[in-house]
A and B are shown apart, each in its own frame.
Chain A
Amino acid sequence: MIWYYLTRFLVWLNDDNSNTQYAWGIVVGMSLGMIPVVTLHWLVLFGLAICLRINLFSLIISWIVFGAASPLFKAPIQSLGTSILSKPSLTGTWATLYHAPFFPFTQFNHSHVMGSTIAMILLIFPVYKISWFFVNRYREPVHQFWRSTRVHRAYVHYRRFSS
């Protein structure tokens, strides 16, 4: 029984299943994994992830993978953030944003937040393109494999007899 509901849940996660939706799911998952949690733009991204039709399964997998990998890149990300925040030509901009309403809640003045946000923005386009390419190429073989598993066959069999 528990396997049935688990499989139903996995199927529901994959309801939005176009290549574009998969790719955006990976991109948003990457963003959620890289940006620290207690920031305004993270909360906005989380809201968008729930309210927009993007693939939730790929979002969750991507979130886990990038969330696990981000501590490995902590030092270069913090260096990037520090260098951007300490650029003299941008001081005026940062100072204006620092005193603007709501913007300080993004915590952009922290080196780690700034570095990870910039890194995330730079990676959006390449990650989307690469994800779309791989999803388009390998979804059919992966789908065939999934259909050949015992779990899926048991699920289909159960649905046929229970409906």
Chain B
Amino acid sequence: MSTTEDSQASFPQGLIRWRGCGLMVVLFAFAGVYYSFFAENHFRKILQESLSEVHGAAIDIESLKLTLFPPVVEFHKVEFGNVERPNRNLFELDKVRLEMAFGPLLRKKLIIESMEASGVRYATARSHPATLVYEFNTDLAPSLMDRAATGIYASIRNELIDNPLRHLGQLGTGLSIQSTIEFLFERLQTVATLKELSEQLNEKGALWEKYRAELPTPAVFAGMKTRLTRETASQKVGAAQTEVSESSREITERMNQVRSELTDIRRQVLETQGSLGEDVTQVRRQLGLPRTDFDDLTELTFGPRWLSLLERLSYWIDLSRRRMPPGTTTGTAVISLQGTETERSFHFGLPGTLPTFHLKKATLHSEEAGKPNGLKIQGEVTGLTSDPSQLGQPLNLKLTADYPEMGFRDFSLDVFIDHKTSPPQEKIDLKLGSFRLTDWSITEASDITLKIANALTNLELKGAFQGEEVHLDWNIGLSDINYTIASRFNQVETTLKEMLNGMYSFDVKGSIEGSGADLRLTTSSGLGKQLAEGLKHEFRHQFGAIDESIRSQLVERFATIRDPLLSRVREYNESLLPQFETAIRTLNGLKAETIRSSKNKDSVSLNQ
């Protein structure tokens, strides 16, 4: 700190701090040392991390060589980890070479003039698992594993109920039907209805008792008779007669009401037998027994797998839409936006200028067939860019491959991505002439395992995505099929083997159509139909016996509530209604007597 006198000078020793300039020179020298010795390694690590997060499994680059003049990057031994089998690579590239244009680098644009990849090998062993341990970057699209958990395509997911094959093992275990019924009893439809009717009967019963108490007593009838006689004697129609008529009418109405309500309650009690089927289903479900009313089990056995594949495909489509967004044209420029709602980056495209990133052409060429894990593959990618609307070209990817060692032949992939305008469009055409499918699970549960041990397979898949619309069709043909069937229960295993005996080939067709919440999955296969038929017929007797047992136990149990209810209704019918009828008869008798008396009087006076 200094004194006040020193504060009067503004820059007493000149503007430039020469020692500071010397420090800047030292810093530049450090930068040079860093570039010479550390930059490549640092860049390699950053690239590994970023690419791994996008891919969803570890991507390892053994070495990287970077030169600025000319700007070339060479990668050696790039391993792409397999998400599903972390100890194996999905594929491995021996060498990747990128040649960039230098001028655009000064404008912060990465223009890759050419990219060549060679030495492709499939499913090589890894030195360490490919499972990621990084913290995910929330600016990137979620990884494959996160995506599967986000709950997209809920409309299809909700339709896929549990695979009935998983519960066949229940047939082999002892089913505790009685305890299940006791557990579920209060929640069964029939019981709920009967209890409701019982409460209704209690309420109405109280009203009926009140009606019964208001019926005229013999003393009241005697009084009515006296009054009527008096009126008849005076030959006047008066209040007594009116009273009798009114009373008769009221009692008749009440009697009809009681009779109708009793009839209605009795009818509803008897109708509860109709809901027995639903109660049986509920008990079956609680016991873990499957439904057997399917015509085709393909959707339930293969549906979750199709959904998982669709979600993976959607992940890549979503990533392409985020990283290659369609632009909006203003008067002067095409603006595309990336980032989140709050933190955005604007990309301004001008006609005739270069986009921020453009891979002009990438070629993939490998003739490793014959070598261990070697692939024969040819491929080309053009039009990969961060600003497709500015570039004005779609992305085209064409790939063909053969892997004879694994029986993998005639693979072709054609991808077309057009994000020049909104809505974005993507098309995919995938064909695989033949490959050996091994160890493909159809059902794998603790009680039962059903797998395709091996089969010769061909695959065709065509997809088109436009905005939210999805159109996806696939056809998988399987032949020379060997199954693996295992169950803890001999009977189930034997039955399944008999069901699939002779099923050496079948096709699996499927499609997904629609958009948003209206997506529909349709799929069918010979195997699915065979399994559905088998469930119905082969296990018919076992399921039938269980159903019968449940039904009879439920009927027995319901009777403990239904019978007392019916007997109360009968009691009311037998005790209450006759009293009403007696009262009405008495009143009618009084009226008839009154009429007779007045007629006699008239005839006597005429004779006189």
Contact = CB atoms under 8 A, between A and B. Distances in A.
Interface residues of A, number: 42
Contact of B7 (A19, A53, A91, A110): A19
B350 A95 contact: yes
Interface in A34-49: 47
A53 B1 contact: no
Interface of A is mostly: helix
A82 B344 contact: yes
A98 B289 CA distance: 66
B3 to A, nearest CB: 7
Nearest to B8: A18
Contacts of A112: 343
Interface string B8-39: 11111111110011011000000000000000
Contacts of B21: 50-51
B343 A86 contact: no
Interface in B105-160: 106-109
A100 B107 contact: yes
A145 to B, nearest CB: 9
A136 to B, nearest CB: 8
Interface stretch (B58-66, B326-334, B491-499, B548-556): B326-334
B423 to A, nearest CB: 22
Contacts of B403: none
A18 B4 contact: no
B335 interface: yes
A127 B165 CA distance: 75
B17 A109 contact: no
A111 interface: yes
A111 B344 CA distance: 6
Contacts of B3: 143
A109 B332 contact: no
A151 B461 CA distance: 79
A48 to B, nearest CB: 9
Interface string A21-34: 10000000000000
Given A109-B347, A112-B343, A143-B2, A51 B330 contact: no
A85 interface: yes
A92 B13 contact: no
Given A21-B11, A111-B344, A52 B16 contact: yes
A88 interface: yes
Contact of A47 (B2, B10, B24, B335): B24
Interface in A1-33: 11, 14, 16-21
B107 A18 contact: no
Nearest to B345: A110
B23 A111 contact: no
A98 B348 contact: yes
A95 B354 CA distance: 12
A18 B24 contact: no
Interface in B334-358: 335, 339, 342-350, 353-354
A133 interface: no
A157 interface: no
The residue among A11, A100, A104, A111 with the most chain B CB atoms within 10 A of its own CB is A111
B6 A109 contact: no
Given A18-B7, A78-B343, A91 B332 contact: yes
Interface string A48-83: 001111000000000000000000000100100010
A109 B348 contact: yes
Contacts of B339: 110-111
Nearest to B347: A109
Contact of A53 (B17, B333, B335, B354): B17
A26 to B, nearest CB: 15
B2 A78 contact: no
A66 B597 CA distance: 117
B347 A52 contact: no
A128 interface: no
Contact of B23 (A18, A50, A88, A102): A50
Nearest to A11: B1
B104 to A, nearest CB: 10
Given A17-B2, A20-B11, A140-B4, A111 B333 contact: no
A155 to B, nearest CB: 11
Contacts of B354: 99
Nearest to A85: B346
A105 B2 CA distance: 40
Contact of B20 (A51, A86, A98): A51
A21 B6 CA distance: 11
A109 B1 contact: no
B343 A53 contact: no
Contacts of B350: 95-96, 98-99
A53 B14 contact: yes
Contacts of B342: 75, 78, 111
Given A78-B342, A99-B350, A17 B7 contact: yes
Interface in B345-386: 345-350, 353-354
Given A51-B21, A111-B345, A142 B12 contact: no
A101 interface: yes
Given A18-B7, A18-B10, A51 B24 contact: yes
Contacts of B345: 109-111
B353 A91 contact: no
Given A18-B11, A51-B21, A101-B107, 20 more contacts: A14-B2, A17-B7, A18-B7, A19-B10, A47-B24, A51-B17, A51-B20, A85-B346, A88-B331, A91-B335, A92-B332, A94-B348, A99-B107, A99-B350, A99-B353, A99-B354, A110-B339, A112-B343, A139-B4, A140-B4
5 contacts: A52-B17, A98-B347, A111-B339, A111-B345, A147-B1
Nearest 3 A/B pairs, CB to CB:
A104-B108, A95-B348, A95-B333
